[in-house]
Structure 1
Amino acid sequence: MSASVRLPRSDGTVEERRLAEPGQWPRPSGPITSRVAFAAAHVVADPLGDNTPGAPAALDWEATLAFRRHLWSYGLGVAEAMDTAQRGMGLGWASTRELIARSASTAREVGGRIAAGAGTDHAPADLGSLDDVTAAYCEQIEVVEASGAQVILMASRQLARLARGPEDYAKVYGRLLEQVSGPVILHWLGPMFDPALRGYWGSPEVPAATDAFLDLVGQHAGKVDGVKVSLLDAGHERALRAALPSGVRLYTGDDFNYPELIRGDGTHHSDALLGVFAAIAPAASAALQALDTGDLTRYDEAFAPTLPLARHIFTAPTWYYKTGIAFLAWLCGHQPGFTMVGGLQSARSVLHLAELARLADDARLLPDPDLAAARLRTFLDVAGVPR
């Protein structure tokens, strides 16, 4: 088998590329200690399931759980049932509930860390009151806590629709934080990831929303392990993490600037809860292992080639980044086919995915170049790209 492939470019030219040998990405011999790092994992669709738009999700459970074992083997925690797993974009509550239970059980088997998202996406879109939103959250929190996973309080589209100001967010989240059994992760997901969440925390103006958010965290700091912020604004993240109460972590969700934010400024640093870590797990692990030993040169060398890939995967419209995550998992041999629940494999263009492959190769993240080349050729043939 040959590792050569002809990759189309946006200017109409074609690059004859021989894929590089994979990087040397050693697995850690023990836990990563310098940072807490979660990879938000995607789900693998059953290629024989009716995963058309609007249909109930049909998952390939074996491949889905094997991918999580892959992440744990590199010392990363798994952030389960997050937006990367297509919450609100094809993965319904019945499948989500089963996913949380299965993943948490597997985490216990391998000794892996797991946190899971609790939201309100199982409830009707037209919930009538804040009490209804609180009750919907509580239903999902109960499922996550019963599984043994740490709770991640996800943003609620229904709350964003009903809330009239910061006081409504404080009311709902205050009730939830009084009831949870252990410290949770609060998730601030920006509108670039979900337009329905514009104005979350009570204001479309980020400084005002930040003040309300910090006030909530300060009032309930004992029940908040950390905050996961996905606004793609490194300056805002630095200011926010410096203002957090002592002991509350900032889990970066910035898939554009994660190397510098995790590295830190000498006073503060970010931990990580990132969708891109599912795509770059071996390199992310190598960088964090280097950070554990204080080897900042090796840290930078591991992360630097992944940044162009991450910024490409998360290019606008950002919420379709899941397609790139699944495509790369297929190229790497982590799933049998390039299929997604809700038919989301159609959400990125052939040129976008060809460039993604090129950047993954530049980062030496294709573990079997022959397999990746064969799958790329098949994909391009089906798409009608001439050889």
Structure 2
Amino acid sequence: MQAVMLPTADGRAEPFMPKEGCPFPATVQGGFPRVAYAAAHVVADPRAAIAPFETAAVDWEATLRFRQHLWGLGFKIAEAMDTSQRGMGLDWKLAAELIRRSVALAKTVPAADLACGVGTDQLSPQPGVTLDQVRTAYLEQLGVVEQASGRAILMASRALVKAARGREDYLRLYGELIGQATDKVVLHWLGPMFDPQLEGYWGSHDLDEAQDTLLELIHAHAARIDGVKMSLLDKEREVRFRAALPDGVKCFTGDDFNYAELIEGDAARHSHALLGIFDPIARHASAALTALGEGRVEDYRRILTPTVALSRRIFEAPTRFYKSGVVFLAWLDGHQDHFAMVGGQQAARSAIHYADVFRLASEARVLADPEMAARRMRTLMATFGVS
């Protein structure tokens, strides 16, 4: 194998020799000791005759094939979440189609399971938007999910930030939505590092006050809540939060910086997982969770710890552009035949960023076929003038 020339932060280019490929299998048998959702990306159709910054086209065959890949590794799928570019290229019309197609496919795949994002992204978050409009938007999306026989993840709403006057509006509206849902729901606290328009969610810019409001909601409706996803990138806060949850309500970590520690947990408690990073590191995460379930804690750490540096680079600020790294690795790994994204979001990161992600993925042995990944990396670097 030949080295790949990669740019460096000081403006030079240097050779990098890819490491050996992923040592873990592409399918698994048996269960995990934690509930593990992988938030899956969508594959764009780069040959569609559209203006990518204005509209989107999805390659449905490749998108659904990737979900089969994740199911084959033992994961549940969190469908139509922010990893699939909800609010960043994928509009509600396409998200609804994605939900319908994925739920229908899951019915044909043994042991396949998924839950689907329910939000308000068909509603523009403009000043003057009302709580009634937010409620209607949520219920429309909940109806689509339940008509497809899916389960709901209640996503954070940009419009609700504009409409709510305080914590009581959050408690009242979420209480109504939880009561309307046919099945138990998963709640989602998505921090402003993932979406700046969610600053002040749960009615306060003070995170302690916001957390108290969310916990009040959960305790009031515990029998109707399966769990809550924490996406604040704050390990200590998540540990305190999960200790305050009522029995039977799971904490799903969305912390793509500290997931290895939080999933392992301590003698008292642990986090389950609903993670975007599981999309590109699926084989490693599957092998690690299998090891943890068999009591091989040191193997769990050995397998998963090397992926953390990769994840932190993918999710670095501006964190909302992490989807670019996720899709980049899917292309390098052969899950799609191009590096194009809905909304043209492949342009959201720099050549230096992609070079570092490639290095870290290779060093963690995440890439299944290093030679193919190297060929594709050379092609990408050539577009940046690196050869």
1:251-290 correspondence runs (5 A): 251-290=252-291
State the partner residue of 1:357: 358
Query: More displaced, 350-359 or 5-14?
Result: 5-14
| Structure 2 residue matching 1:272: 3-state secondary structure | strand
Q: How much has 1:382 moved relative to structure 2? A: 1.5
Q: Is the 8 A contact 1:52 1:341 kept in 2?
A: no
2 CA distance for matches of 1:249 and 1:284?
Answer: 19
2 CA distance for matches of 1:88 and 1:196?
Answer: 11
State the partner residue of 2:96: 97
Q: How much has 1:12 moved relative to structure 2? A: 2.9
1:211-222 correspondence runs (5 A): 211-222=212-223
TM-score normalised over the length of structure 2:
0.97
Q: How much has 1:50 moved relative to structure 2? A: 4.5
State the partner residue of 1:38: 37
CA displacement, residues 332-356 of structure 1 (integer Å, 9 cap, x when unaligned): 0111100001111100000100110
Query: More displaced, 51-60 or 76-85?
Result: 51-60
2:383 maps to 1:374: no
Query: Would the alpha carbon gap of residues 321 and 11 (structure 1) be closer, same or farther in structure 2, given more than 3 Å must change?
Result: same
Q: Is the 8 A contact 1:187 1:228 kept in 2?
A: yes
Q: Is the 8 A contact 1:51 1:343 kept in 2?
A: no
CA displacement, residues 262-318 of structure 1 (integer Å, 9 cap, x when unaligned): 000110000000001101100000110001101001000111110000000000000
2 CA distance for matches of 1:202 and 1:31?
Answer: 42
Q: How much has 1:27 moved relative to structure 2? A: 4.9
Q: How much has 1:123 moved relative to structure 2? A: 1.9
Q: Is the 8 A contact 1:120 1:133 kept in 2?
A: yes
TM-score normalised over the length of structure 1:
0.97
Query: Would the alpha carbon gap of residues 211 and 51 (structure 1) be closer, same or farther in structure 2, given more than 3 Å must change?
Result: farther
CA displacement, residues 200-227 of structure 1 (integer Å, 9 cap, x when unaligned): 0010000000000000000000110000
Q: Is the 8 A contact 1:45 1:58 kept in 2?
A: yes
Q: Is the 8 A contact 1:189 1:197 kept in 2?
A: yes
Structure 2, unaligned runs of 5 or more: none
2:119 maps to 1:119: yes
Query: More displaced, 55-64 or 322-331?
Result: 55-64
2 CA distance for matches of 1:114 and 1:60?
Answer: 20
State the partner residue of 1:109: 108
Query: More displaced, 107-116 or 264-273?
Result: 107-116
State the partner residue of 1:194: 195
2 CA distance for matches of 1:3 and 1:325?
Answer: 25
| Structure 2 residue matching 1:269: 3-state secondary structure | coil
Q: Is the 8 A contact 1:326 1:338 kept in 2?
A: yes
Q: Match for 2:123: what amino acid?
A: A
2 CA distance for matches of 1:335 and 1:90?
Answer: 18
2 CA distance for matches of 1:51 and 1:165?
Answer: 41
2 CA distance for matches of 1:296 and 1:51?
Answer: 49
Query: Would the alpha carbon gap of residues 149 and 5 (structure 1) be closer, same or farther in structure 2, given more than 3 Å must change?
Result: same
Query: More displaced, 375-384 or 30-39?
Result: 30-39
Alignment: residue pair count: 385
Q: Is the 8 A contact 2:28 2:72 kept in 1?
A: no
Query: More displaced, 77-86 or 53-62?
Result: 53-62
Identity %: 52
State the partner residue of 2:65: 66
State the partner residue of 1:292: 293
1 CA distance for matches of 2:161 and 2:220?
Answer: 21
Q: How much has 1:32 moved relative to structure 2? A: 2.1
Q: How much has 1:132 moved relative to structure 2? A: 1.5
| Structure 1 residue matching 2:226: 3-state secondary structure | strand
Q: How much has 1:375 moved relative to structure 2? A: 0.4
State the partner residue of 2:24: 25
State the partner residue of 2:169: 168
Q: Is the 8 A contact 1:105 1:147 kept in 2?
A: yes
State the partner residue of 1:324: 325
Structure 1, unaligned runs of 5 or more: none
